[in-house]
Each structure stands twice: as C-alpha cells, then as structure tokens.
Amino acid sequence: MDSSTLFTETALVRKKKLTQKIAGGVFATMTVLMVIPLLFVVCFLVYEAWPVLGFDFILESPERGMRAGGIWPAFLGTLMLVFFSVIVAAPIGVLAAVYLNEYAGDNWLTRIVNLAVFNLAGVPSIVHALFGLGAFVLFAGIGKSILAASLTLAIMTFPVIIEATKESLAAVPMAFREACWNVGATRWQTIKGVVLPNSLSGILTGIILEICRAAGETAPIMFTGAVFYKAVVGGDVFAYGPLDQCMALSMHLHTISTQVPNVDEAIPFATAVVLLGTVLLVNASAIALRVYIRTRKKW
C-alpha cells in the first residue's frame, strides 16, 4: 500500500475538523460580544471622567458639600474595609475548606455544612447587612465602625473563598498525599508541605473574588460602618481607626449620584473609574502572582 494514501484524511475526519472550527468560531464570537460592551462601558466612563481624573482627584477631600474636590476619604475607607475583611475572611475560609476537604468524612453533618455554605452564597447583601447590624453593632457592642462593616463583609464572602479553596485542594492528586503518608508524614504535615503549596493559585482566585465583592458592596457597610460624609485631611493615610466610621467609594458614588444636587458631572464618573481601577489593579496583581505560582508547579 502506498504510504502517501495511508494517512489521507477521511470524510469523517474532515467533518469533525469543520465542526470544531465552527464551534471555535461561535465561542470566539460570543466572547467578543461579551468583551465589546465592557470595553465600551469602560471607555465611556473614562471619557466622561477625564476632565477631573487624576492623582489630585484621589488625594483631595470633597469640597462644597461634595459638589467638588476629590474622594480621598472614600478611597481610604474602601481600602481599609477591604483590608480588614480579607484578613478575617481569608484565613478562616481557607481553614474551613481544609477541614471540609481533608478531614471531614462524608456524613450527614458534613453535607449539612456544605449545604449551609451554598445557601450562604445566595443570601442577599441586605440580609447580611441586617445580620451585621444585629450581631456586631448591637449584640457585640462594637458599634458602627470599620471593624463591624469588615466583619459583615467577611461573613458575606466566606462561601466564595471556601468553595474556591475546596476546588483547588481537590485538584491536587491523591498520589501526592499517599506518597507523603507512605514515608511517615502526618496528615497536617502533608497538607502544610504539599497540598496547600500546590493549591495557592486556586486560593488566590477565591481571595480575588472576595476583594471584588467587598469593594463594590454598599448595603452591608451602609448599615454597619459607612457614613454620608466625614471630614478627613486629603492624603492622610491614618485618618481612620478600626473603630471609626468611614466613607466608602461605593456609597459615596451612590450619594453624589442621587442625593447631592449640582455636582460636577464628571465627579460621579471619575469616582466610578477609581473604584473600577482599584479593583482591576488588585486583581491584576493577584493574577500575576497566581500565574507565577502556577509556573512553579511540577505537575
């Protein structure tokens, strides 16, 4: 038999390749259709915000009843809310996921806990706000503060971190664990030295999503720690303490868009751009770290 005809494509192979190309084209078109509106929205926001957008806008305080000036108090408050919520939610969420995936058996109690985590993810933010008001502000006696608002945001974002961490832990091959156990390592030594280092990229994904949601929420912080206005010296990074109330970008944007008359038209757009840019910058940093960690994997 002639070798030139041995590997000739059959009609079935050509049909499969055509189907694959069509499917790839459809998916690529859907992706472009999703990205184009996003780019249009971002470009529109930047265009409208351009007259006032700059570092001075970020580092200055609002003036003339928030009709002019910058957004430093709200920007600093958002950073502090996100920071405290992350340092509370990340370790507790990761440890809970480690227990559920590595220690807990497949029994009715574990299934109830997993169901509770799924249900917690679907609770509206306004319900979390009322819970934070009752549990932290009133019952715990913390009062309306950055700490109370951050704890509320942390509880609201627990499910995201737990589920992302569980999926990442489950992706580590069981052979890695068995190899450690066979040389005498304990379960915790295996988790600490092998499982967690190979799960960091997935854990970072959960933390990225937590940061995005915490930075953009309004209802939970409105009830537990955010204020309409607070006088802060522009550029002062120590303006707030954990037990102080603060301004926040999400609430500030809502306020100047709906409740403050005669605001410079560019200020709400510039506030939205700063909020979006802050989230994108944090995300980009975390994604870069995640990619670096993935390149160090040996499997």
Tell me how far apart the alpha carbons of residues 70 and 20 are, in angstroms, rounded to a whole number: 52
The helix or strand, by DSSP H or E, that contains position 92, with its residue range, turns out to be: helix 72-98
Residues 24 and 110 grouped into a single domain: no
Is the confidence at residue 9, as pLDDT, over 80?
Answer: no
263 domain residue, yes or no: yes
Residues 119 and 136 grouped into a single domain: yes
Could you read off the pLDDT of 272-297 as tens digits, one per residue?
Answer: 999 999 888 887 887 787 777 777 66
Rounded mean pLDDT of 244-271? 89
Could you read off the pLDDT of 153-164 as tens digits, one per residue?
Answer: 999 999 989 988
Could you read off the pLDDT of 177-188 as tens digits, one per residue?
Answer: 888 888 888 888
CATH number for the domain that contains residue 170 = 1.10.3720.10
Is the confidence at residue 7, as pLDDT, over 80?
Answer: no
Helix (H, G, I), strand (E, B) or coil at 62: strand
6 domain residue, yes or no: no
DSSP string, 148-200: HHHHHHHHHHHHHHHHHHHHHHHHS-HHHHHHHHHTT--HHHHIIIIITGGGH
Could you read off the pLDDT of 60-69 as tens digits, one per residue?
Answer: 888 888 888 8
225 domain residue, yes or no: yes
Residues 190 and 216 grouped into a single domain: yes
Residues 264 and 144 grouped into a single domain: yes
Residues 286 and 186 grouped into a single domain: yes
pLDDT at 4: 55
Residues 113 and 222 grouped into a single domain: yes
Residues 178 and 59 grouped into a single domain: yes
| Boundaries of domain holding 20 | 11-49
Residue 68, strand partner residues = 63
Residues 147 and 238 grouped into a single domain: yes
The number of folded domains in the chain is 2
Residues 23 and 122 grouped into a single domain: no
Contacts of 57 (CB under 8 A, 6+ apart): 70, 71, 270, 274
Q: Is the pTM of this model over 0.75?
A: yes
**Buried (b) or exposed (e) across 39-72, using 16+ Cβ within 10 A?**
eeeeeebbebbeebbeeebbebbbeeebeebbbb
